[in-house]
């Protein structure tokens, strides 16, 4: 017997139905693939909140099998305590998309219930997607903790620094030193990298502090690191920071580097010549693009850090020998400031002595004066350790000198040894050196003494019996004044 319905269908109708059926099957397969491959969990419920299906991601997130929940009503799952809130129930009631935070099996989930409405606006299905945000949440918390730690650290440093700088004053009498300070003040206003050159103890650190104090970054940190004092194996992690587990012994939370800590402020890299080659490459990259990537990390952080660097070494020579990168040298040497050795600015010596005797005296409530002979010995000494050495001598004199009047006998042996002896000024010279060289040395020493005493070229000219233009020319020749 033939089917009457089939009888009335033409071959064309049948072909169309078969095509539609195939298209429907393809669509179902596509939907299955989407649902099953989603990394977010998916729950599909009917209008009564009965679970129709859940995807493999949901099985994994909730640690259940689909068979345990399919066919059950969300209300029952709620009563059984399997879930603490249901986005599906709320979406059915409100007919709106709802998002909820849920705690399940010790994990944090964000569930979004979306109602599917028919043509009459009635709910026919609810799709609930759930995303496990436990890791993101932990990372967020870690980040917040680190940021809090960083702020705490930075504030602490800033307080210490402000107290330190406030208590310091810079003594400068010699034109060479005055010029170095002027340069420092001038560059404070800009953001350029500065390379401070000079022997150990001349005051390079003090110049860096002066630049910071007078810059627009004064209320942000000045972080100082001595590249020579950090073990080579640690310098990169100290400078650039590291992510957790970057190397054996790394803190489990990871750590920001000094560059990050200096964000918004200034990083002062003392003893820059001691920076290992691999760190030189990374520093150069930072100077070029302003970004750092922590060790073991992939995320580039953009930082706003001004770099000041200092060294007592001859970087030119190191570049020639290949131990310092030329490209980094160019990047650092944008504005060089040379701080002269103390023996090249003897007219700073006595003002510094007075300054430090007063400073240490006030600290210890001791007031000490100094004899002329002791002053002369201090003035004649060469100070291989520069201002730092002079400062230590003054502290010792305040504490140790037996009477209120400091005399030659109170001075350290290396300084008192020179007292009273004829110096180059009085006529001691080396044998067998060209006469002109000896004469130049004597002339320079005479000018240095006169400059320290009279401070005024006119007066110097009077005392030395030459005209003022000769004095000016010779001061320039021996670099005792600013060449400009
Ligand atoms: N012109 C100055 N007036 C007052 N104190 C100074 C002056 N120059 C340096 N000092 C003091 O001398 C000490 C040494 O200075 P500083 O540390 O800045 O030298 P440095 O050149 O950076 O030395 P190093 O190369 O060893 O790091 C510091 O205590 C500093 O305050």
Ranges of beta strands (E only) in 191-299 are 194-197, 222-226, 266-270, 291-293
What's the CA gap between 51 and 74, in Å, rounded? 7
- Least confident segment among 42-56, 206-220, 240-254, 438-452: 240-254
Supply the residue whose CA is at minimum distance from atom 26 of ligand 1.
200
Q: Which atom of ligand 1 is nearest to the CA of 177?
A: 1
Q: Which long-range contacts (CB under 8 A, 24 or more apart) does 282-287 make?
A: 282/236, 282/239, 282/240, 283/239, 283/328, 284/325, 284/327, 284/328, 284/331, 286/240, 286/259, 287/193, 287/328, 287/331, 287/332
Q: Regarding predicted confidence, which is higher, 175 or 205? A: 205
Span from the CA of 314 to the centroid of ligand 1 (angstroms):
19
Tally of CB atoms within 10 A around 331? 18
Q: What integer pLDDT is reported at residue 353 of this predicted model?
A: 94
Average pLDDT, the chain: 86
**Which residues neighbour 217 within 8 Å (Cβ) at sequence distance 6 or greater?**
264, 265, 266, 306
- Least confident segment among 42-46, 96-100, 153-157, 233-237: 153-157
pLDDT higher than 60, residue 1: no
- Least confident segment among 139-153, 160-174, 373-387, 391-405: 160-174
The dihedral region occupied by 411, where left means phi > 0, alpha psi between -120 and 50, and beta the remainder, is beta
**Bridge partners (DSSP) listed for residue 338:** 197
Q: Is the ipTM of this complex over 0.90?
A: yes
What average pLDDT does the segment 122-143 reach? 87
- For the record, the structure tokens of 476 come out as 């320039």
- For the record, the structure tokens of 414 come out as 């290396």
pLDDT higher than 60, residue 366: yes
**Which residues neighbour 391 within 8 Å (Cβ) at sequence distance 6 or greater?**
352, 356
User: Cβ(387) to ligand 1 under 6 A?
Assistant: yes
Name the residue among 38, 44, 32, 36 with its Cα closest to residue 91: 44
What's the CA gap between 151 and 142, in Å, rounded? 14
Superfamily of domain covering 39-132 = PAS domain (3.30.450.20)
Helices (H), 170-266: 175-188, 204-213, 232-240, 258-261
Spacing of C-alpha 168 from chain mean position: 24
Digit-coded pLDDT (tens) for 316-342: 999 999 999 999 999 999 999 999 999
Q: What integer pLDDT is reported at residue 460 of this predicted model?
A: 87
| Residue 141, CA atoms < 13 Å, CB-side half-sphere | 5
Q: Which atom of ligand 1 is nearest to the CA of 348?
A: 1
What average pLDDT does the segment 18-37 reach? 90
Digit-coded pLDDT (tens) for 393-441: 999 999 888 888 999 999 999 898 866 554 444 445 566 677 787 788 8
Percentage of residues in the chain with pLDDT exceeding 90? 50
Q: Regarding predicted confidence, which is higher, 150 or 365? A: 365
Span from the CA of 385 to the centroid of ligand 1 (angstroms):
10
pLDDT higher than 90, residue 12: no
What's the CA gap between 471 and 465, in Å, rounded? 10
- Least confident segment among 49-63, 82-96, 115-129, 470-484: 470-484
What's the CA gap between 270 and 266, in Å, rounded? 12
Supply the residue whose CA is at minimum distance from atom 9 of ligand 1.
203
pLDDT higher than 90, residue 268: yes
Best residue among 201, 268, 343 to mutate for probing ligand 1, ranked by most atoms within 8 Å of CB: 201
Taking only Cα atoms into account, the Rg of the chain, rounded to an integer number of angstroms, comes to: 39
Supply the residue whose CA is at minimum distance from atom 24 of ligand 1.
200
Binning pLDDT at 50, 70 and 90, where does residue 160 land?
low
Q: What integer pLDDT is reported at residue 246 of this predicted model?
A: 61
pLDDT higher than 60, residue 165: no
Q: What integer pLDDT is reported at residue 204 of this predicted model?
A: 96
User: Using alpha carbons only, what angle is made at residue 155 by residues 149 and 160, rounded to the nearest 5 degrees?
Assistant: 130
Span from the CA of 165 to the centroid of ligand 1 (angstroms):
12
Q: What fold characterizes domain 422-484? A: Arc Repressor Mutant, subunit A (1.10.10)
Domain 344-416: top CATH class: mainly alpha
pLDDT higher than 80, residue 86: yes
Name the residue among 292, 288, 361, 366 with its Cα closest to residue 328: 288
What's the CA gap between 328 and 308, in Å, rounded? 13
What average pLDDT does the segment 203-220 reach? 94
Q: What integer pLDDT is reported at residue 423 of this predicted model?
A: 46
Superfamily of domain covering 139-340 = P-loop containing nucleotide triphosphate hydrolases (3.40.50.300)
User: Cβ(265) to ligand 1 under 6 A?
Assistant: no
Q: What integer pLDDT is reported at residue 157 of this predicted model?
A: 65
What average pLDDT does the segment 29-46 reach? 92
User: Cβ(392) to ligand 1 under 6 A?
Assistant: no
């Amino acid at each position: 017997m033939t089917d009457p319905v089939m009888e009335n269908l033409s071959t064309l109708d049948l072909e169309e139905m078969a095509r539609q059926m195939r298209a429907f099957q393809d669509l179902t397969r596509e939907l299955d693939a989407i649902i099953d491959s989603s990394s977010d969990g998916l729950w599909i419920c009917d209008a009564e909140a009965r679970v129709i299906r859940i995807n493999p991601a949901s099985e994994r997130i909730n640690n259940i099998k689909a068979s345990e929940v399919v066919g059950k009503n969300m209300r029952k799952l709620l009563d059984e305590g399997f879930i603490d809130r249901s986005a599906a129930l709320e979406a059915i009631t409100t007919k709106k998309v709802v998002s909820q935070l849920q705690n399940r099996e010790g994990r944090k989930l964000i569930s979004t219930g979306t109602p599917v409405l028919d043509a009459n606006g009635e709910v026919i299905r609810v799709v609930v997607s759930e995303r496990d945000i436990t890791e993101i949440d932990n990372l967020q918390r870690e980040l917040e903790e680190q940021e809090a730690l960083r702020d705490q650290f930075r504030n602490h440093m800033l307080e210490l620094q402000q107290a330190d700088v406030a208590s310091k004053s810079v003594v400068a009498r010699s034109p060479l030193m005055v010029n170095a300070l002027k340069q420092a003040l001038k560059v404070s206003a800009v953001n350029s990298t500065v390379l401070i050159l000079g022997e150990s103890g001349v005051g390079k650190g003090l110049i860096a502090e002066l630049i910071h104090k007078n810059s627009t970054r004064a209320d942000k940190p000045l972080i100082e690191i001595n590249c020579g004092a950090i073990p080579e194996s640690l310098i990169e992690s100290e400078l650039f920071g590291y992510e957790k587990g970057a190397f054996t012994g790394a803190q489990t939370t990871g750590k920001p580097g000094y560059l990050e800590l200096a964000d918004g402020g200034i990083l002062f890299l003392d003893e820059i010549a001691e920076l290992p080659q691999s760190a030189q490459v990374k520093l150069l990259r930072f100077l070029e693009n302003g970004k750092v990537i922590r060790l073991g990390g992939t995320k580039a952080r953009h930082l706003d850090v001004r770099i000041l660097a200092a060294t007592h070494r001859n970087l030119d020579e190191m570049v020639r020998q290949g131990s310092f990168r030329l490209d980094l040298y160019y990047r650092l040497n944008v504005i060089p400031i040379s701080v002269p050795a103390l023996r090249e600015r003897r007219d700073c010596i006595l003002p510094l002595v007075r300054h430090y005797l007063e400073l240490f005296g006030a600290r210890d409530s001791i007031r000490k004066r100094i004899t002329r002979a002791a002053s002369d010995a201090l003035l004649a000494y060469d100070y291989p350790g520069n201002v730092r050495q002079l400062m230590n001598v003054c502290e010792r004199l305040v504490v140790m000198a037996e009477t209120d009047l400091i005399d030659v006998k109170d001075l350290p042996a290396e300084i008192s040894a020179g007292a009273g002896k004829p110096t180059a000024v009085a006529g001691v010279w080396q044998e067998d050196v060209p006469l002109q060289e000896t004469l130049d040395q004597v002339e320079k020493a005479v000018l240095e003494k006169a400059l320290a005493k009279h401070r005024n070229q006119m007066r110097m000219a009077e005392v030395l019996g030459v005209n003022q233009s000769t004095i000016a020319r010779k001061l320039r020749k021996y670099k005792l004044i600013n060449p400009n």
